[in-house]
A and B are shown apart, each in its own frame.
Chain A
């Protein structure tokens, strides 16, 4: 049995979606999927309540904790983070993607440590509310983004112009005098730590910064595979030549990160492009909440499910009894 750990609100969605996708895939395989949220996990008793998805049907069930769990959830509350850590510390349970939100500063430090991935990292520094007097004209073009979480709407790209800066945010662009940049950035920061990246002139698209997301899965043999390359947030496709470039860069990046964070199984990497189409690293995350939605093509969703099943088969986990 495979476990899918998700946020409580998404349990119904994932159960239904997985049932539809698994139905044709699970034929001839005796594999069932238990979808559950963290609040329904009893670590002491090693049991869980949730929704059991088999090839035939979907039903509520109570079982032992599966020995292979894919984490599709993001834990934000302290008590849940602690519980998740305890779950990860259980020796005989393998959790894929124990965490889905990563500190972007750590990721950039990891990438900077490797010769292969250093070239994707733009010069960066920490930026906090104390930097109220920072003169952005010193860096030229820049990106500011939150250090802790990936939120495309909160990434601001500033392109230097004669007037000051053209700022591209999640909700469009605006022209801004150089001394007014802080008045746009600081309210968005909400007192949190941010990162400031010095960039070349970057490509924009539909009045926003052009961001390309590569979604990756780790196959059961440990090799990573890029399953989609799309322009976010609208999930439009990219042309083949650029796609290949993105694919190669994403694989270099994930192999580097995976060496330091080995429990990854599903991930995404966001890139920005300069005027010549050179990709630069922007964000890294684990499970992409949109991966099983219709924003992605059906073959992408199927390959995610297929991979989950192959994982389970490879690990040949024992089938615990269902109560």
Chain B
């Protein structure tokens, strides 16, 4: 049931319902009114002045709230809400929160405009969608200061609101204590609750017998001897920083006869150096000690190519509702004649079919199927890790022998390639978490 709120001046907590709703409340004279984390006992008055006919988002009905009750519930007047009425409770909502980081001074309407395209389906969700920082939560009052999306002006505005029914985590620098507290408050409805580092992900997946065959050999980079042994064993390796993404800080080492060729991507322009022997290689690592600090070393995969360029596959897996994962987008990221396929590093996007056809010309249907199958298994496995996930950007590689490999799974992926390649797909990816959030509330059932 879609409604708009009409504010009625009064000193008491009163909700004014159309007489047609008297049946649903059982004719009660008072009940609990709920909005997000706020619940209040309120008097009910039935009136013929309010109507519920032709109820839709475009033609919402009207429910009156006394100004005192409106203030207490902290419910913005300009929005369109869904209402669920039972005999004991009237709930307005949904209240969906974007959990931002700790840099409160940065969160202004201009910053929030990048979230606006997610609200393209506001007519299916409705309610209050607001962004807040864990720092601006008032735990005594169960409220948060933040910015809400005002559908009437299509802009983000500051305000104070009750804590949300569902929280979509958009930053991963907040203290785990805050997250735990919010998780508890929302009864587990805080999704994307944790972000794995590259190595944590490897450690988690390697324990699964069905999935670990998709992992390339990987170790934590700890000492020169260990790294040297790894290079000698696999001939070509890649060193990746645990906590960085988009190809930042990587280094590729290739053993050619007794020489070592290093391509260092930590600089603006890749630096190539050749080391004749072990001593020279050791000197390189002595000068670059950071490669033993929060770095992993991984076997370099001999990836399939589109023309002369390497490519990998970004699969977006998103939850439709609890336990149901869907692949909402696949793109192939083709490198710009370098080892990096990231769009942010000059790569470009192709559809999976286009890329597989160009790479293998025929017999690529089963790769497609295997990728989907693997991603489903992966997501189901991650659901058993004790965290609440609803979105993964999975980077998959296909080698020249048509084997597939999991390179990375990111809970905070970027969709730049999709935006350029297929705007409709991009938007449906952006909408999916909103619909999932709705499905977790009483308004989505």
Question: Residues on A close to B: CB < 8 A?
Answer: 44, 85, 88-89, 91, 98-99, 102-103, 105-106, 109-110, 112-113, 259-263
Contacts and interface: CB of A to CB of B under 8 A. Distances in A.
A112 B173 CA distance: 30
Interface stretch (B44-52, B155-163, B200-208, B217-225): B155-163
A119 to B, nearest CB: 16
Given A109-B109, A113-B157, A113-B159, A260 B173 contact: no
Contact of A262 (B104, B110, B175, B176): B104
B105 A99 contact: yes
B104 A260 contact: yes
Given A113-B157, A259-B160, A260-B145, A89 B104 contact: no
B136 interface: yes
8 contacts: A89-B101, A98-B103, A102-B105, A106-B108, A109-B108, A109-B109, A109-B158, A259-B160
Contacts of B159: 113
Closest CB pairs A-B (n = 10): A113-B158, A106-B108, A89-B173, A91-B175, A259-B145, A99-B105, A261-B104, A260-B145, A262-B135, A110-B158
Which residue, of B105, B157, B159, has the highest number of chain A Cβ atoms within 10 A? B105
A262 B146 CA distance: 12
Q: Is the interface of A mostly helix, strand, loop or mixed?
A: loop
Contacts of B175: 91
Contacts of A259: 136, 145, 160
Interface in B356-410: none
A263 B104 contact: yes
A263 B133 CA distance: 12
Interface residues of B, number: 21
Nearest to A91: B175
A91 B102 CA distance: 10
Interface in B173-189: 173, 175-177
A255 to B, nearest CB: 11
A260 B175 CA distance: 18
Contact of A103 (B104, B108, B160): B108
Interface string B147-176: 000000000011110000000000001011
A88 B133 CA distance: 13
A310 to B, nearest CB: 22
Given A89-B102, A113-B157, A260-B158, 10 more contacts: A44-B293, A88-B103, A89-B101, A106-B108, A110-B158, A113-B158, A259-B136, A259-B145, A260-B104, A263-B135
A262 B133 CA distance: 10
A42 to B, nearest CB: 13
A86 to B, nearest CB: 9
Nearest to B132: A260
B46 to A, nearest CB: 31
A85 B108 CA distance: 17
Nearest to A86: B173
Contacts of B157: 109, 113
A113 B109 CA distance: 12
Contacts of B109: 106, 109
Contacts of A110: 158
A98 B105 contact: yes
A110 B146 CA distance: 10
Interface in B75-113: 101-105, 108-110
B265 to A, nearest CB: 19
B369 to A, nearest CB: 42
B54 to A, nearest CB: 33
A86 B30 CA distance: 51
Contact of B136 (A88, A98, A102, A262): A262
Nearest to B156: A109
A157 B329 CA distance: 54
B136 A260 contact: yes
B202 to A, nearest CB: 23
Nearest to A85: B103
A136 B153 CA distance: 27
A99 B177 CA distance: 24
B102 A88 contact: yes
A110 B110 CA distance: 13
Contacts of A103: 105, 108
Nearest to A110: B158
Which residue, of A89, A110, A260, has the highest number of chain B Cβ atoms within 10 A? A260
Interface string B110-154: 100000000000000000000000011000000001100000000
A105 B108 contact: yes
Nearest to A89: B173
Contacts of A105: 108, 110
A85 B105 CA distance: 11
Contacts of A261: 104-105
A323 B230 CA distance: 39
Contacts of A106: 105, 108-110
B412 to A, nearest CB: 15
A89 B172 CA distance: 10
B184 to A, nearest CB: 18
A262 B104 CA distance: 8
A106 B146 CA distance: 12
Interface string B15-36: 0000000000000000000000
Interface string B301-315: 000000000000000
Contacts of A262: 104, 135-136
Contacts of B135: 262-263
A261 B101 CA distance: 12
Contacts of B108: 103, 105-106, 109
Nearest to B137: A262
Contacts of B293: 44
Contacts of A44: 293
A99 B110 CA distance: 18
Nearest to A95: B102
A284 to B, nearest CB: 11
Contacts of B103: 85, 88, 98
B418 to A, nearest CB: 28
Nearest to B111: A106
B31 to A, nearest CB: 29
Interface string B219-245: 000000000000000000000000000
A88 B174 CA distance: 10
Nearest to B177: A91
A103 B108 CA distance: 9
B398 to A, nearest CB: 36
Contacts of A85: 103
A110 B135 CA distance: 16
